Amino acid sequence: MNKYISKLSPNYQIFKNNIFKIKMIKTNIDKMINTLSNLKINENNNNVQITPSNVQTKKWRKEQEWYSNGKHNECEIFQRNLIQKITNKDVLKTHLRFHTISNNLVEKKYPNREPDGYEYTEDLDGYQLFESLNDNIKYQIYYNLKMICDAGGAQTRSLREIYTFIRCQLEYLLINQNQNQNLNTYFINILDGDEAYKNRDKFNYLYNKSEYNQIKEYVFIGDLKEFESWYKNKYI
């Protein structure tokens, strides 16, 4: 009886409410710690500690909380969110893509509805526009986001498509290099995943062709970890 009465006492109810509040606070703190752990934010310099592509295996990807089954653009969303964290700016979506014959950059949402649809690359995955306060120059950045994990026929085909995509970027800059002095255009190719890392030599071969020496500084090829360093060392 005494035990039953004590539970009805005001002091017990206050104690019970305080325990509940403590549990809620602990839950919120655990969620915050988990979020910070996933992003691994360095509080001293606001860097985002990112897993390098050479260890991003298929097994690693499946173990990530953000990954489901690869059918919902999880990798692209993950990459986009980290880029927005690094640049402190939204990455806008775009329907711009290259015509592989002329190397023109055009806005075309549904190329395959037309007979020449296969002459177009996939669209770019994102766009940002910056204006430098120091030199009053505008900078536009286009993103190509990929995560290729583990070897296989599908992965090889994807990497070959990416190679063509980057070649179009270089050719576009070569054709428009005079215009690019006024509005600096950068193409950022984020190649995450261990298979993309293993085949980096093919992209380096393309990037280091002598005909692109004057404009290749406007093309980035690397993983998100390398992009973070590239961005912070730029004057954008």
pLDDT one-digit tens code per residue, 209-227: 999 999 999 999 999 999 9
Same domain, yes or no, for 18 and 61?
A: no
What per-residue confidence (pLDDT) applies to 234?
77
Same domain, yes or no, for 27 and 58?
A: no
What per-residue confidence (pLDDT) applies to 235?
55
Q: What total number of domains does the chain contain?
A: 2
- The verdict on residue 45 lying in a domain is no
Same domain, yes or no, for 138 and 75?
A: yes
Residues of the chain scoring pLDDT < 50: 1-5, 31-45
Secondary element (H or E) of residue 186? strand 183-192
Domain carrying residue 80:
51-233
Same domain, yes or no, for 152 and 186?
A: yes
Same domain, yes or no, for 130 and 218?
A: yes
Same domain, yes or no, for 31 and 63?
A: no
What phi and psi values does residue 96 have, to the nearest 5 degrees? -75, 140
- The verdict on residue 44 lying in a domain is no
- The verdict on residue 1 lying in a domain is yes
Same domain, yes or no, for 64 and 175?
A: yes
- The verdict on residue 46 lying in a domain is no
Same domain, yes or no, for 110 and 33?
A: no
Same domain, yes or no, for 1 and 84?
A: no
Same domain, yes or no, for 58 and 35?
A: no
Contacts of 144 (CB under 8 A, 6+ apart): 124, 125, 162, 165, 166, 187, 188, 189, 190
